[in-house]
Amino acid sequence: MNVAEKPSVAKSVAEILSRGGMQSRAGRSRYNRVFEFNYAIGAQACHMLVTSVTGHLMELDFDDRYRRWYSCDPAELFHAPVRKAVPQDKQDIKRTLEEEARTCQWLVLWLDCDREGENIAYEVVDICAGANRNLNIWRARFSALIPREIHEAVQHLARPNKLFADAVDARQEIDLRIGASFTRFQTMLLKDAFVLDVSGEERNMVLSYGPCQFPTLGFIVERFWEIQAHEPEEFWTINCSHTSDEGTASFIWM
């Protein structure tokens, strides 16, 4: 069983490895088809199934009791329990992975070769291993969807890197905790200070905050201070022209 990061990659991998001779059938998700063909990895003859996810399969969020805005003090979100789960709109993809994994012996992960791709790979592993704990799990490493790269990748499979996946989990959890706690804190603190008048209706604002917004906010504030501190001054420019019987020629800087 081979799993790619998106449907177009799954189709390209299947076309390359099967040399265009694969069969296609629908999965549970209408966007994520399953391609089948025979192929040899080393001396091992294999019946290959190739399917896909659509980016991250799971979302990180707080337990239900912490998800309502006024359910807790925003500071509690720094240590409240979090969990990863498959959202409703990805349940069909999950069912496809579970059903196909039950019939397979190997799982080959064709996710992007970066930390984010490694994290998605382990989301796929969690789903597939939950359906078939005897899977032999491998990682295909490639940098381009060209025949030489794809054949080389499948003939030299490696193991996935859990440390890369854990690094993304840590970043996601930091983003969630900081973003949710500061967004709630700011919005509740200032909810009456800023009111938008839209078409005669007053609407309160949500003051969103995230770690990636912090440096951007700094640039905005710095630029605001520069504009406020600006003092207009007179300045001069040189304009040069030559007039003759044929008319006037103006010279410009190049």
Q: How confident is the model at residue 132 (pLDDT cuts 50, 70, 90)?
A: very high
pLDDT of 154 higher than 70: yes
pLDDT of 224 higher than 60: yes
Sign of the CA dihedral 177, 182, 183, 189? positive
pLDDT at 237: 87
pLDDT at 71: 85
Q: How confident is the model at residue 196 (pLDDT cuts 50, 70, 90)?
A: low
Q: Are strands 82-85 and 59-62 parallel, antiparallel or unpaired?
A: antiparallel
Q: Say which range, 1-10, 62-71, 143-152, has the weakest mean pLDDT.
A: 62-71
Tens digit of pLDDT for each residue in 228-243?
A: 999 989 989 889 999 9
pLDDT of 120 higher than 70: yes
Q: Are strands 2-4 and 106-110 parallel, antiparallel or unpaired?
A: parallel
Instruction: Enter the pTM of the model.
Output: 0.76
DSSP codes, 183-236? HHHHHHHHTTT-EEEETTEEEEPP----TTHHHHHHHHHHHHHHHHH-------
pLDDT of 187 higher than 60: yes
Average pLDDT in the chain: 90
CATH architecture of 1-254: 3-Layer(aba) Sandwich (3.40)
pLDDT at 204: 64
pLDDT of 188 higher than 60: yes
Tens digit of pLDDT for each residue in 21-66?
A: 999 999 999 999 999 999 999 999 999 999 999 999 999 999 888 8
- The CA distance from 163 to 166, in Å, is 5
Residue type at position 68: R
Q: What angle do CA 143, 147, 150 make, to 5 degrees?
A: 50
pLDDT at 192: 73
Give the residues across from 85 on adjacent strands: 59
pLDDT of 200 higher than 90: no
Q: What is the mean pLDDT of residues 101-128?
A: 96
- The CA distance from 145 to 151, in Å, is 10
175 or 202, which is more confident?
175
Map out the domains of the chain as residue ranges. Answer: 1-254
pLDDT of 181 higher than 70: yes
- The CA distance from 187 to 50, in Å, is 46
CA dihedral 186, 192, 194, 200 (to 10 degrees): 140
pLDDT of 130 higher than 80: yes
Report the share of the chain in percent with pLDDT over 90. 72
pLDDT of 210 higher than 80: no
pLDDT of 207 higher than 80: no
pLDDT at 95: 96
pLDDT at 198: 57
Q: How confident is the model at residue 218 (pLDDT cuts 50, 70, 90)?
A: confident
